[in-house]
Amino acid sequence: MSGTVIAVDNPGRIGEVVGEVKTASPDDVAAAVARADAAQRQFAALPVADRVAVLERVAGSLEDDEALAELLARESGKPLGDCRGEIRFAGVYLRWVASRAAEVLADAHTDDPSGRLLLRRRPFGVVGAITPWNAPVILTMLKVGPALAAGNTIVVKPSPLAPLAIARILARFPDGLVTVVHGEVETGTALVTHPLVRKVAFTGGEAAGRAIGALAGQAITPAVLELGGNDPAVFLDDADLSDAAMDRLVMGSFQSAGQVCMAAKRLYVPEARYAEFRDAYVAAAARVVVLGDALDPETTVGPVISAAAASRLRALAALGSPVPLGRVAVDVARGHYVRPTLLTGLDDASPVVAEEQFGPVVPVLTYRDEEDVLARANAGELGLGASVWSADEERAFAFARRFEAGFTFVNTHGRTGMALRAPFGGVKRSGFGREYGDEGIAEYTQTCAIHLPAAFRAGGAGMGAAAYPV
């Protein structure tokens, strides 16, 4: 491929270039899509077992790949332990897709007094995927695994901020089934608007999602968009504030330096328990938060992705009454480090409350009663995730039913509350479509029907030429 060179920097070590990629021109993108299209029909004709065998082989290659984990840590700034976990989990997910694909993709055949109906799940063809930098391996596999299992091929444009590790993984798939194109807006536009791309998959921020959705809509190309969130975490008055619970909450806010779409971003606690909650949260952060270099084994929170992100987040951290959290184990001037901070003394109009902060700056607010907090938690245009914390499981589920969120965690928040079987995605302006679960596999299929009404079967009663169905 030809084009300009993009240098990939280490956000934790200013001046360190981790690697380079070359941007794909629109002509390069067209060539990649053409190769994917040429491979797709033959691949789709294979039995499901043969298609998912491809996923299983790649999954096996993701076990204990230390060099790959280190590369991901250096380009993304995520702690090395998190990178190891993400890569292993990507393999777990691919195997799960392989285990579910035959059942999810099977034909559904009905033959009864109403007639004969065959429903088939057919692939779209070529899928174009644009993936983010914050969890590039798993968020790409959430698209690649289901797409291939269903018989599609896929062209992936990774984020230029962290494209190296995922590109190495995608090179392990057979040629033509998965193709990588690097670049920025021009490359993404060429991919989304190519006439042979029959489905678009995107994970990222709302602004980019709007642009990609508009382009896909103009081309009448269906899309799955997993966008941002401003997730509330609501503690009911009987919530457990034990060390284990608070450790989960703190890491649910600050994993990947808070740069996670489903992080706990707004904390709501009853007025009567505010001081108790604040003290427990600060104590938990002292136990589990170590701000440091991604390759330091003690680090649990690394740098944010860029200088611009750090500047924006430091400005947010100056709002209200900031409470610095955890321990700092690095010279923060070496990289784009923002100390995890709990913000107190704010109201719902503050930008750090009303908007997604996407970083290690989290506000805590008090509430009077459940109706008050529910209205405030549901305010705004985003509805990706939420959590409710209560010692009473039935009470928690009753409250959770009233959230305007695509996924609600109970007594945890973030990846500890995920499940392979549970579909994930947003409501309102947090996107549409689902990943994970059987629904995440079905996203990459089209339901096609073959129908013979009973009236027109041999010996049937017939029906008038202009009659409505019965």
Short-list 408, 409, 413, 403, CA closest to 379: 403
443 is an active site residue: no
Instruction: For residue 449, give the H/E element and its range.
Output: strand 445-453
- Residue 117 makes CB contacts below 8 A (sequence gap 6+) with 109, 110, 111, 449, 450, 451, 452
Can you tell me the distance from the alpha carbon of 310 to that of 317, in angstroms, rounded to the nearest whole number?
A: 10
Asked if residue 334 lies in contact with residue 305, where contact means CB atoms within 8 angstroms, the answer is no
Among the listed residues 226, 356, 404, 443, the single catalytic one is 226
Among the listed residues 86, 261, 265, 404, the single catalytic one is 261
261 is an active site residue: yes
Short-list 192, 181, 189, CA closest to 22: 181
428 is an active site residue: no
Joined tokens for residue 389: 């914390």
Q: Provide the pairing of β-strand 223-226 with 197-203.
A: parallel
- C-alpha pair distances (Å), 83 with each of 20, 64, 79, 198: 20, 11, 6, 32
Beta strands in 370-444 (DSSP E): 382-383, 385-389, 407-410, 427-428, 431-432
* Alpha helical stretches, state H, 329-459: 351-354, 370-377, 393-400, 437-442
C-alpha atoms less than 13 angstroms from C-alpha of 92 in its C-beta half-sphere: 12
Among the listed residues 143, 157, 199, 265, the single catalytic one is 143
- Residue 252 makes CB contacts below 8 A (sequence gap 6+) with 233, 263, 264, 387, 409, 412, 413, 414, 416
143 is an active site residue: yes
Among the listed residues 206, 356, 435, 443, the single catalytic one is 435
- C-alpha pair distances (Å), 185 with each of 209, 211, 217: 12, 10, 17
- C-alpha pair distances (Å), 124 with each of 30, 197, 373, 424: 18, 9, 43, 21
Q: Catalytic residue numbers?
A: 143, 226, 261, 435
